[in-house]
Amino acid sequence: MKLRKLLASVALVSSVVGFSFQSQAAAGEIKISSDYPGGNVIVQKSEPGKAEIAPDLRGGKPWFYWNFEAEVIQPGRVDFILPGTLMMVAKGPAVSVDGGKTWQWINPDNFKFATPAAKDVPANPRDSFFYEFKDKGQKVRFATAIPYLQADLDEFLNKNAANPNMEKSVLTQTTKSLPVDLLQIGKPGEGVKSMLITARNHACESMASYVFEGFLQEAMSDSPFGVEFRKKYVLYAVPMVDKDGVQAGDQGKGRSPHDHNRDYGQTNIYPEVKAIQELGDSKKVEFFLDFHCPAVRGDVHEMFYFDGIKVPHIYENNMELVRWMTEERPPAITSWEGVYLKPAKDPAPVEGLPSSIYFAAKKGMIFAATLESPYAQTHTPLDAALAREYGKGLLRAWTRTEFISGAPESARTENDNARFVAFQKSFKGTPADMEKIAADCLSNEKSSALYRIEANNRLGAVKFRQTFASKNDSKKFQEALDCYELAVKDPNATNVQKSTALTQRVVIVCRDPASTPEKVEEYLAEFLKFPASSPEQQSSVYGEASTFYEKKQNYEKALGYVKKQLPFAGRYFKGKVLNKTADIYDLMKQNDKAIETRKESVAYLRGQLVPVVPTGVFGPLMAADLLDALNGIPSSTADEKKEAANMALTHKVCPPDLKKRVEKALGEIEPSKKD
């Protein structure tokens, strides 16, 4: 009896211990799901700390779309392994910690692209990323790119529901009986031409929807461009063509037997495509633009570009639109637009066509093309907000563009981009010459706002250069500042004109010795309100603010701004910014941090200069920065400093003033080499 009780007790203890062991999940254990709108994943293998995932193709051709949620069972790091290369966009996966309401790109240190084998480096055959999960029960979503679903469209439509310039209706119903939204901006009328735009012919191409949204927002706005656009056009917009696919989380592209963007022609298998064709006919559409995204990343797939067929007048209109985009593209987008229209086939096919080719072939079409918007870009902060700004810029450029028809007599008048570019190029010669050109424009009552703003900006640049010899005369600084006011205040200014003016105003007030911190902060705040300034502009502004506060001996402020400058500093200037940061630490008597920062600068600059110094002038400039950094590190050796100096001195394009400065520093290392 006692033995039986003992055995029973042992069994009970074993059961409890066994249960306790099984309930303790290993670190990095998660549960993966995709049962929500837009979700898409196949879990090939999952274990604590590692998950192998792949896109659910659902009968489509192999591509890269995936979107899933991970629920944390036990916090820890998890590595996500994708099935091959070209499975992530340039910024890695998009991440949402609030159930898909907001998204951001993952930390750049948290993803790795597949790479071929190199010398002494094995191949990395699969794209991958990792995430550190912190809390049990936490849910985090990951997607190939920033998603755009019906909920996002509904939010946009609700926000603009009271806008009198937009009307919402239903175009048709999908195969699964979902209503397809149709938007109308503007009204038909005499001299008003019909324009049709569409998006999501391929379900997964989400970034295109943010560009599309920005285009719509500006078109229905009360800005000078929105008002002018509605005088010229009535816009019909289908924001989500493959609505079934978007909600289901399909990639859409390459779907069997063919996708929506191969369904245009004499017969259709998708009711929404048939309805779009009928809408084009009934509204006598003369302008058509379809919004897409290209492939995942690399070369052309990280730039905005137009595709379609090369009908002569359509091609020329496309080129004129791109020329105006040079002025209206958000400066943060540093890549230009490509135009890759292809010659038409002979005989022209009548079935299985992309939308832009179908519409370009129709009689009377003035413009028809596809705009490919990248999911992400390596060298710009492209996200949902910036994509919307690009769409707004596109609408502004569209409104500036004077389109020609296929008629032999059709030609542009004085509003063409070439005339404006010629005006910009006319600002040359002496400062007096340029002042006269500006004065002639500003005194001419017929000068448009565009030209007057440009003249003021150019005059501002001349006035600012004159401050260099003014012995800190604040009146001269104010004269330069006043020139840029028009671009800031006039809503007709292009994005380039306005961002230039906002940047130069900060530079001027920071350089003016009479400026107060309050004035600097005021102008800096106005600059920061502009949503799409370039990295160079942001670097310049933060650098000038840092120098201003350094001169005022407010080193905390100076340090704060130089730290803000660093992420925007270009490749060739990062070492200089790090050196400046170290100098400010020295002024704050934080010598250990100064030395640590200079070591960071040395490591960075050696990575840029070794084994080959860049061929341009930036090579010797970075070598001089390296020498400066080494000179501030007590443990640096004379040989290290000589090596850096020689990189600059032996460079074939070392500027004379830089050479003199480096030789002086080298003479201090080797007294025998002093001048």
184 and 85 share one domain? no
Range of the domain at 297: 150-400
At 117, the pLDDT band (50, 70, 90 cuts) reads: confident
Is-contact 340 373, C-beta < 8 A?
Answer: no
What CATH number does the domain containing 45 carry? Answer: 2.60.40.3120
Instruction: Point out the domain boundary residue: 143, 161, 177.
Output: 143
378-428 confidence digits (pLDDT tens): 999 999 999 999 999 999 999 999 999 989 889 898 789 999 999 999 999
Task: Say what the pLDDT of residue 667 is.
Answer: 83
Examine the pLDDT at 461 and tell me if it is beyond 90. yes
Distance in angstroms (rounded) separating the CA atoms of residues 621 and 659: 10
Distance in angstroms (rounded) separating the CA atoms of residues 88 and 263: 28
285: amino acid identity, one letter: V
Of 20-29, 188-197, 587-596, which range is least confident?
20-29
Q: What's the whole-number mean pLDDT along residues 421-438?
A: 96
* Angle, vertex CA 422, rays to CA 420 and CA 427, nearest 5: 105
525 and 625 share one domain? no
> Is residue 13 in a domain?
no
Q: What's the whole-number mean pLDDT along residues 316-339?
A: 96
Task: Say what the pLDDT of residue 255 is.
Answer: 95
Task: Say what the pLDDT of residue 669 is.
Answer: 79
Q: Look at the chain and report how many structural domains it folds into.
A: 4
Percent of the chain scoring above 70 in pLDDT: 96
At 18, the pLDDT band (50, 70, 90 cuts) reads: very low
Instruction: Point out the domain boundary residue: 549, 568, 587.
Output: 568
Is-contact 417 397, C-beta < 8 A?
Answer: no
> Is residue 609 in a domain?
yes
382 and 497 share one domain? no
Of 90-99, 119-128, 290-299, 617-626, which range is least confident?
119-128
535 and 496 share one domain? yes
Task: Say what the pLDDT of residue 25 is.
Answer: 72
> Is residue 3 in a domain?
no
E runs forming strands in 559-598: none
Could you count the other beta carbons within 10 Å of the beta carbon of residue 392? 26
Give me the residue label for tokens 């705009």: 371
Give me the residue label for tokens 């004499």: 266
199-219 confidence digits (pLDDT tens): 999 999 999 999 999 999 999
648 and 532 share one domain? no
Examine the pLDDT at 279 and tell me if it is beyond 50. yes
> Is residue 6 in a domain?
no
Q: What's the whole-number mean pLDDT along residues 509-527?
A: 97
259 and 317 share one domain? yes
Task: Say what the pLDDT of residue 14 is.
Answer: 35
At 24, the pLDDT band (50, 70, 90 cuts) reads: low
Of 417, 485, 489, 492, the C-alpha closest to 224 is 492
474-516 confidence digits (pLDDT tens): 899 999 999 999 999 999 999 999 999 999 999 999 999 999 9
27-52 confidence digits (pLDDT tens): 999 999 999 999 999 999 999 999 99
242 and 325 share one domain? yes
384 and 446 share one domain? no
Examine the pLDDT at 67 and tell me if it is beyond 50. yes
Task: Say what the pLDDT of residue 670 is.
Answer: 67
> Is residue 23 in a domain?
no
> Is residue 200 in a domain?
yes
641 contacts: CB under 8 Å, gap ≥ 6 = 627, 630, 631, 665, 666, 669
Is-contact 647 611, C-beta < 8 A?
Answer: no
pTM exceeding the 0.85 threshold for the entire prediction: yes
In 3-state terms the chain splits into helix, strand, coil percentages (rounded to 5) of: 45, 15, 35
134 and 154 share one domain? no
Examine the pLDDT at 8 and tell me if it is beyond 50. no
Give, to the nearest 10 degrees, the angle between helix 449-466 and helix 495-511. Answer: 20
> Is residue 488 in a domain?
yes
Torsion of CA 187, 188, 191, 197, to 10 degrees: 80
> Is residue 407 in a domain?
no
530 and 665 share one domain? no
What CATH number does the domain containing 503 carry? Answer: 1.25.40
Token pair listed for 472 = 């800190």
At 59, the pLDDT band (50, 70, 90 cuts) reads: confident
Percent of the chain scoring above 90 in pLDDT: 89
Q: What's the whole-number mean pLDDT along residues 120-144?
A: 95
Mean predicted lDDT score pLDDT of the chain = 94
124 and 169 share one domain? no
Q: What's the whole-number mean pLDDT along residues 263-291?
A: 98
580-596 confidence digits (pLDDT tens): 999 999 999 999 999 99
Could you count the other beta carbons within 10 Å of the beta carbon of residue 272? 25
Give me the residue label for tokens 């099984």: 22
Of 18-32, 40-54, 159-173, which range is least confident?
18-32
Q: How far apart are the first and last CA of the chain?
A: 106
What CATH number does the domain containing 313 carry? Answer: 3.40.630.10
481 and 629 share one domain? no
